[in-house]
Structure 1
Amino acid sequence: MNCNKQIKKYILALAFCPLLMSSCSESWLEPKPLSFYTPENTYVDTDGLYAAIVAAERNMRHEFFGNLSPILSELNSSDIAVYGKTDHNGSLIDFDNFLLPTTIYVSGDERNQIQWYWNEGYRGVRFGNTVLSRIDNATFKSEEERNQVLGTAYFQRAYRYYKLTHQFGDVPFLDKEFATPKLDFYTHDRWSILEQLKKDLEFAYQWVPEKVDRGRTSKAACGVLLMKVCMCLSDFDRAIEVGREIVANHPLMTQRFTSNKNKPNTNLMHDLHSIEAKLDMTNTEGLMYVVSYPQIEGSTRMQIMRNALPYWAKGSVNVTPDGKTGTAIVPAKEDKGTEIDNDYNVGRGIANTRLTNYSQYEIWTDKEKNDLRSPNNRDSWRRMEDLFYNEPSLKNKSEWYGKHLARPANMNASDSVRCWFMWPHYKTFVPDPTVTQDRKGGETPWYIYRSAEVYLLMGECYYWKGQNQEAADMLNVVRKRAGADPLVASDINIGEILAERARELYYEENRHSELVRISYTYARTGKPCEVFGGRVYSLTNFSGPGGTGSNVKEEGYNFWYDWMIKHNNFFRDGVVVACGQYRISVHHVLWPIPEVAITANTGGIINQNIGYPGTEKNIIPLPIDQERPSK
């Protein structure tokens, strides 16, 4: 099927959205409970049920698109980045004082999207359950067609629960559609939920088709999620088995492709992460995408250049060495679109996310000196010194017009955080042909899963199994493509695995969730953590000793906190900026359950996570086959 037909088919599917829910703005487990569903003639056959699935697939894109897109909350709760808007205090700078059940979301707030993950998670679960509850009353051409629909619905529900169980831990498990308001939810045990996801994803991996349109659920996508769930449950052999099947059918892109290969100052990484590559049907590496097609009605813009770039147009960096305003979004008319047009060439950022020293410097060793993904490659990364003084009033009046920026000697901490850092241009450059200035990032498909991550997951599985040479072999497949030197068995530890994920998967992986997954695996398996001197973790005190407001800062409770304190220089050093101080504590490994979800649930009990207010009402989480506590 050609690209235009795909686009038309996808947009046609979106037309069914109003049939799926009473209001796209209403969220599950919030106050003002509504009867979300009434019997519809829509859900009577394959096309009708796929309408619900398409809506779920469409909603996946909202995690990555728009200003302060939700993926930033995942990045800014991890080792690789922090919230960079230093003039705006909030939960993702000062976790101790602002990451609370009552303050994680305020209408119009730009500080985080943590409650979005809760709301959108259960909205996606609801879409999946609509199909699962109605499938027995629908008609199909064949059993195969029925199983394909069923498997796709299982994936959509599992995709949300994988995130929920790593962001929030134990959460309510909804396994069916509710036709009437329900206010008696109970928290279920995350391990029980993950066991169910494994069963569902095994079915999905068997039945969901391999070849699908961009933006649709594929067999390979089901396989990647199955791998991750298997890893959560320590079934590393099954994860490796699935991974090998996936990469056999979806090899990495190792040669230059698309029209980008003819552009100067580009390389294979530019090809792989360009809009053209994500539209190219010969791209074998992409396993699942979210879609927003360029210049198609109903699409939405990425705004990655706004979110992830320095705020170069303001602050002390916007001053020439002789004290004049130095940069402008629009240069002199005759210089528009030339090399000194910063806005045209990189976009205008405001640093909603800002890379840490770990991302910019620590993970790039001598072994990565020739790595196309590294700051060593000046085509792939941009520095502030690559930008130009281009304020029109300087032209013909100042020696600095048209010269590269120089780091100001008197730059304060807030401006340093927000306005002066490097970034991976090959990933963040998503030009918008419809915009001539103030370029924030346009429309594009975006990778959810790629074969590169499958190799890294297999490498991690071998690490957990103690087979370090096999782990190195898997990582080396990805490293070889990038031009990095190969690793050997003695190089392998969890730090090297996480570094390779950071090199390859920036702005793709849910970095916080993956750190939490690894933290749970250490606690579940009891494997000594070599990067912390053989430290052993436990599930019994995973979130620390508890105590509202105690804000424990002692190492040894969970891997996430220990890793953050070691590698996120902002939280480790307690960097002070204009709006506050970067602070985290042990219990922030899990995000708080939104208080609004707990208080509206008047007939049941939704637990709050340890360390946050409200835990005195918690009960033992239930297995998913039990709806309420035994009396």
Structure 2
Amino acid sequence: MKRKNIILCILVGLLSASCNESEFLKEVPEDFMSSDNSYITTADFDMAVNGLYYSIRKEFYGVDENTPFDYIYGTDLVFDGEPGTSNRHGNMVAAYNPTGNIPKAHWDYLYKLISDANVIIGRVAATDFSEEEKTLYVAKSLFFRGMAYRTLAYLYGGVPLVLEEISTPKTDFVRATKEETLRQALDDVKFAAENLPDITAVKDGEVSSPAAYHLLSELYLALGMDQEAVNAASEVIDNPAFGLMKTRFGSRATEIPGDVYWDLFRMNNQNRSAGNTEGVWVIQFETNLPGGGSSTADLKLDGNYMLERHCAPMTRDVKLRVTQPDGTIKDYSPFLWPIGDYTGGRGIGWGISTQYFSNTIWESDFDNDIRNANHNFVRKFAVNNPEFKAEFPDIDTIDVDNPPANLIVGQGSSMTIPGRYLYAYQTKCTTPYNHPSELYLNASIWELKSIAGTTYVDQYMFRLAETYLLRAEAYLNLNDKTKAAADINVVRERAHANPVDPADVDIDYILDERMRELGIEEKRRLTLMRMGKLYDRVMKCNPYYANPETNGDGIGMQEKYNLWPIPYSAIEANTDAVLEQNPGY
């Protein structure tokens, strides 16, 4: 009897212990990563934050070959040298269709960034980290979330605000207004600015308080809060850790031709560890390192930033057509291709500089502004084909602005038609005489392999020169043209350009100065869409897109393109609420 009572007690105990079925059935992963065991230690959260950096690099520099360049194609800066393609912006109707890849790709990647940031913010609250550690992780995450909402607001207007981790399906999103979206971005970035460490306390490439204040200044401008924009920009400009580079520096400082502007874009020169006090936030690329984002083994590898491939011309198809004594016609090639010199590496000439970018904006300082020197903005291409030199010893260069009358480019067309084979381009897109050694087919003549085309340089996301131009814009909005001109002239003085008179400062002048200083490094679409000036500037500065006859399927630039459409895939999936489309789509 005693034995039966003991067994009964054991059974009762087991039954009472197992009555909580949810706990009993809960799986506890012990040998694989899951959402339940991935956010425990600081190492876990550091890895998650690294994922945010990875997402930013993918969005702006390497989702695939084309996506990063959506920020410059279709603007006043460059036009597409391959007309009609919907992969880029040669056919605007196809490019900006709600079912097209361009609006969908950026929407998806930016919301992925928001989702990952929300997970970190929500999960860190449950840890036993110190309050200081928790605040730092939140500040980093809010910086990236704020940057994502800022970008979404510029591209699409008001969008759904998702501020917490979503763990179950949700199909009832509604759009906030554009102002609400920008204010959310501002709140996020303001917290980051007030809680991130100074740039002197972070590694190269890490976000810092000055990076957040730079972005905050831009957001204040977008919201019409101009004095606040001045104050935020001043937090960066007045920081003693920063200063425009004014003397030659870095890995190739003794080379001629060259200058301090040229030095800014040479390999390994972008970070503070190289003595550069101008980079506010620099996106890091490590070549041939797993996770480094840059490879010499495969041109099309996701992550490779192919600025060289897109923005340098494809000089291979430039010919000098000469009638021989017997009446036959022979074509001579002045250039070898691809060659890692100042003819553009392995460029293929998709991102063709507009005449406004390559010529008009330089007219007042064409010869003295170092940013327009031939080693920074190539117009005179040195002949590099020995056979051509032997045949035509008096022709040393081919001048884009004054080509030989018998020069043909591409399929027999003359230089009177802008084409992808020869045009002025910025050398910041490439690394002349400094490609990775693995890419040389014949290093003695700088001949490159066909898999070249990536730009093997860390990239400025924010640079101090731009901070000055943001503050100048805020001063202009405050009707203080004297201070606006003073900030612009800090940038122009470094470039040896003539100072601008305060009376000549207007928003178009600032946009022109941004072109001169930032060029193809700027995410130009974001600037123009922030100001609501994309349509106006393209119609003024980019005849290719302004002319319906040359824009893809016959329909050129339209005012509705000041905003992209909400992707149809997002609207279709949102079955329990209406996700309103932007006007005109």
Where on the TM-score scale, by shorter chain, does this alignment land: which range?
A: 0.7 to 0.9
Partners of 1:325 and 1:594 in 2: how far apart? 49
The one-letter amino acid paired with 1:417 is G
Q: Cα distance, 1:574 vs. partner?
A: 3.8
Partners of 1:594 and 1:391 in 2: how far apart? 52
Q: Cα distance, 1:445 vs. partner?
A: 1.5
Q: Equivalent residue for 2:383?
A: 388
- Larger mean Cα displacement after TM superposition, 127-136 or 113-122: 113-122
Partners of 1:568 and 1:575 in 2: how far apart? 13
- Native 8 Å contact 1:93 1:583 kept in 2: no
Pairing 1:229–2:219 present: yes
Q: Cα distance, 1:428 vs. partner?
A: 3.5
Partners of 2:322 and 2:173 in 1: how far apart? 61
Partners of 1:58 and 1:126 in 2: how far apart? 14
Q: Equivalent residue for 2:477?
A: 464
Structure-2 change in CA distance of 1:499 and 1:175 (3 Å): same
Pairing 1:422–2:421 present: no
Q: Cα distance, 1:222 vs. partner?
A: 0.8
Q: Equivalent residue for 1:243?
A: 233
- Native 8 Å contact 1:56 1:124 kept in 2: yes
Q: Equivalent residue for 2:575?
A: 602
The one-letter amino acid paired with 2:260 is L
Q: Equivalent residue for 1:434?
A: 438
Show structure 2 runs of 5+ residues with no match: 1-32, 295-303, 324-329, 441-447
Corresponding residue to 2:285 among 287, 292, 295: 292
Q: Equivalent residue for 2:251?
A: 259
Q: Equivalent residue for 1:173?
A: 161
Which digits, 9 at most, give the CA deviation of each residue in 1:269-324, with x for residues without a partner? 1111112212451211111111112343333233221110112223xx24544532
Q: Equivalent residue for 2:497?
A: 484
- Native 8 Å contact 2:156 2:563 kept in 1: yes
Corresponding residue to 1:100 among 76, 97, 100: 97
- Native 8 Å contact 1:329 1:342 kept in 2: no
- Native 8 Å contact 2:243 2:278 kept in 1: yes
**Match of 1:51, SS?**
helix
Structure-2 change in CA distance of 1:116 and 1:90 (3 Å): closer
Corresponding residue to 2:462 among 449, 452, 462: 449
Aligned pair count?
511
Structure-2 change in CA distance of 1:240 and 1:592 (3 Å): same
**Match of 2:112, SS?**
helix
Corresponding residue to 2:310 among 301, 307, 311: 307
Which digits, 9 at most, give the CA deviation of each residue in 1:97-137, with x for residues without a partner? 552112x22xxxxxxx4432111111111111111111210
- Native 8 Å contact 1:560 1:589 kept in 2: yes
Show structure 1 runs of 5+ residues with no match: 1-36, 106-112, 332-340, 520-558, 613-631
Pairing 1:495–2:514 present: no
Pairing 1:84–2:68 present: no
Pairing 1:566–2:540 present: yes
Q: Cα distance, 1:588 vs. partner?
A: 0.9
Partners of 1:592 and 1:413 in 2: how far apart? 37
Partners of 2:378 and 2:62 in 1: how far apart? 22
Partners of 1:364 and 1:352 in 2: how far apart? 23
The one-letter amino acid paired with 1:390 is N
- Native 8 Å contact 1:373 1:424 kept in 2: no
The one-letter amino acid paired with 2:37 is N
Q: Cα distance, 1:362 vs. partner?
A: 1.4
**Match of 2:169, SS?**
coil
Partners of 1:414 and 1:293 in 2: how far apart? 41
Structure-2 change in CA distance of 1:597 and 1:488 (3 Å): same
Q: Equivalent residue for 1:411?
A: 413
Q: Cα distance, 1:401 vs. partner?
A: 11
Structure-2 change in CA distance of 1:594 and 1:325 (3 Å): farther
- Bigger Rg over Cα: 2
Q: Cα distance, 1:466 vs. partner?
A: 0.7
Q: Equivalent residue for 1:17?
A: none
Q: Cα distance, 1:373 vs. partner?
A: 0.8
Matches within 5 A, 1:127-138: 127-138=116-127
Which digits, 9 at most, give the CA deviation of each residue in 1:209-251, with x for residues without a partner? 1121122211111111111111111111111112112112211
- Native 8 Å contact 1:382 1:425 kept in 2: yes
- Native 8 Å contact 2:222 2:530 kept in 1: yes
**TM-score under structure 2 length normalisation:** 0.81
Q: Cα distance, 1:325 vs. partner?
A: 5.2
Q: Equivalent residue for 2:298?
A: none
- RMSD over aligned CA atoms reads 2.6
Which digits, 9 at most, give the CA deviation of each residue in 1:163-220, with x for residues without a partner? 1111111211111111122222221212112112222222111111112112221111
- Native 8 Å contact 1:342 1:387 kept in 2: no
- Native 8 Å contact 1:252 1:452 kept in 2: yes
The one-letter amino acid paired with 2:269 is A
Which digits, 9 at most, give the CA deviation of each residue in 1:539-596, with x for residues without a partner? xxxxxxxxxxxxxxxxxxxx4322221121212344538x655711110111122211
Partners of 1:429 and 1:575 in 2: how far apart? 36
Partners of 1:100 and 1:87 in 2: how far apart? 14
Q: Cα distance, 1:427 vs. partner?
A: 4.6
Q: Cα distance, 1:452 vs. partner?
A: 0.8
Q: Equivalent residue for 1:625?
A: none
- Native 8 Å contact 2:66 2:87 kept in 1: no
**Match of 1:151, SS?**
helix
Q: Equivalent residue for 1:42?
A: 38
- Larger mean Cα displacement after TM superposition, 476-485 or 61-70: 61-70
Q: Equivalent residue for 1:548?
A: none
Q: Equivalent residue for 2:22?
A: none
Matches within 5 A, 1:493-532: 493-519=506-532
Partners of 2:183 and 2:80 in 1: how far apart? 34
- Native 8 Å contact 2:104 2:569 kept in 1: no
Partners of 2:138 and 2:86 in 1: how far apart? 45
Q: Cα distance, 1:443 vs. partner?
A: 2.8
Partners of 1:330 and 1:204 in 2: how far apart? 47
Q: Cα distance, 1:54 vs. partner?
A: 1.0
- Native 8 Å contact 1:458 1:474 kept in 2: yes
Q: Equivalent residue for 2:54?
A: 58
Structure-2 change in CA distance of 1:59 and 1:240 (3 Å): same
Which digits, 9 at most, give the CA deviation of each residue in 1:44-78, with x for residues without a partner? 24332232221111222222248644331121121
Partners of 2:307 and 2:555 in 1: how far apart? 23
**Match of 1:418, SS?**
coil
* Greater share of residues in strand: 2
Matches within 5 A, 1:537-576: 559-574=533-548, 576=550
Partners of 1:291 and 1:90 in 2: how far apart? 26
The one-letter amino acid paired with 2:383 is F
Structure-2 change in CA distance of 1:456 and 1:321 (3 Å): farther
Q: Equivalent residue for 1:590?
A: 563
Partners of 2:484 and 2:79 in 1: how far apart? 30
**Match of 2:437, SS?**
coil
The one-letter amino acid paired with 2:426 is P
**Match of 2:48, SS?**
helix
Identity of aligned residues (%): 26
- Native 8 Å contact 1:260 1:270 kept in 2: no
**Match of 1:82, SS?**
strand
The one-letter amino acid paired with 2:430 is T
Q: Equivalent residue for 1:217?
A: 207
- Native 8 Å contact 1:93 1:581 kept in 2: no
Partners of 1:297 and 1:97 in 2: how far apart? 36
- Native 8 Å contact 2:81 2:351 kept in 1: yes
Which digits, 9 at most, give the CA deviation of each residue in 1:333-357, with x for residues without a partner? xxxxxxxx56686302112311111
**Match of 1:215, SS?**
coil
Q: Cα distance, 1:327 vs. partner?
A: 5.6
